[in-house]
């Protein structure tokens, strides 16, 4: 599985693969072609080293999900980055969530500006909680507004970037 910058090339796969569960977790509603196109047009202007990054996750030629890293935003302190990950309905239950989260966590933790990763997880999203636990994130006991749906609350989990870096293979 590999990550690549999310772009308009992924629109059809996202529209075809989304379901109500994914819509609720991302923005509270399903993407339509127009709103997704507008979002992807903004994403394509973001820089790889910028404060907002969105990735598509591919297994071979198939889009299986994606992830994001936000280094600036509401509820984030200096040195924190919000980590998000998602899996299209047809690919859930196969370990992609963990693979995607691990890869984006490693990319984000490698940024010297990031000391801590923040995950915001709905209390009923047990698969995402399992991914966070396996990644090494810990519950903080704090709650925040859902980034895409301010009528909902999510639990805040954190993971020190140095712990992610310690899991990387040694390079000589």
Q: Cα 109–123–13 angle (5° rounding)? A: 65
What angle separates helix 96-109 from helix 126-135, to the nearest 10 degrees? 50
In whole angstroms, give the CA distance from residue 50 to residue 32. 27
pLDDT bucket at 169, cuts 50 / 70 / 90:
low
pLDDT at residue number 172: 40
Q: How far apart are CA 68 and CA 150, in angstroms?
A: 19
- For residue 104, give the nearest of 150, 149, 68 by alpha carbon: 68
Phi, psi (rounded to 5 degrees) for 167 = -85, -10
pTM of the model: 0.91
Give the largest CA-CA distance in the chain: 49
- Average pLDDT over the chain reads 91
3-state secondary structure of 170: coil
- Residue 100 confidence (pLDDT) above 70: yes
Q: 71-81 in b/e burial notation, b at 16+ Cβ within 10 A? A: beeeeeeeebb
Q: Stretch 81-89: mean pLDDT, rounded?
A: 95
SS3 143: strand
Instruction: Report residue 48's pLDDT band, with 50, 70 and 90 as the boundaries.
Output: confident
Q: What is the mean pLDDT of residues 102-120?
A: 95
CA-to-CA dists, residue 105 to 35, 51, 140, angstroms: 27, 14, 18
Amino acid 139: pLDDT: 97
Q: What are phi and psi of 46, to 5 degrees?
A: -75, 145
Nearest-angstrom CA–CA distance, 161 and 140: 16
Q: How many CB atoms lie within 10 A of CB 106?
A: 15
Going by the DSSP 8-state scheme, the letter that residue 33 receives in this structure is H
Check pLDDT > 50 for residue 171: no
| Arithmetic mean of pLDDT, 92-116 | 95
């Amino acid at each position: 599985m590999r990550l690549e910058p999310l772009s308009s090339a992924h629109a059809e796969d996202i529209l075809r693969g989304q379901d109500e569960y994914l819509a609720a977790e991302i923005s509270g509603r399903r993407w339509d072609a127009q709103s997704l196109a507008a979002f992807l047009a903004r994403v394509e202007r973001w820089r790889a080293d910028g404060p907002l990054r969105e990735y598509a996750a591919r297994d071979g030629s198939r889009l299986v999900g994606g992830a994001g890293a936000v280094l600036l935003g509401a509820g984030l302190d200096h040195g924190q980055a919000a980590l998000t990950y998602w899996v299209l309905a047809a690919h859930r239950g196969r370990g992609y969530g963990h693979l995607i989260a691990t890869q984006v966590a490693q990319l984000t933790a490698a940024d010297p500006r990031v000391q801590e990763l923040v995950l915001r997880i709905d209390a009923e999203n047990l698969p995402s909680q399992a991914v966070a636990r396996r990644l090494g994130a810990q519950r903080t006991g704090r709650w925040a507004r859902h980034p895409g749906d301010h009528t909902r609350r999510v639990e805040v989990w954190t993971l020190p970037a140095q712990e992610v870096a310690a899991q990387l293979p040694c390079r000589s």
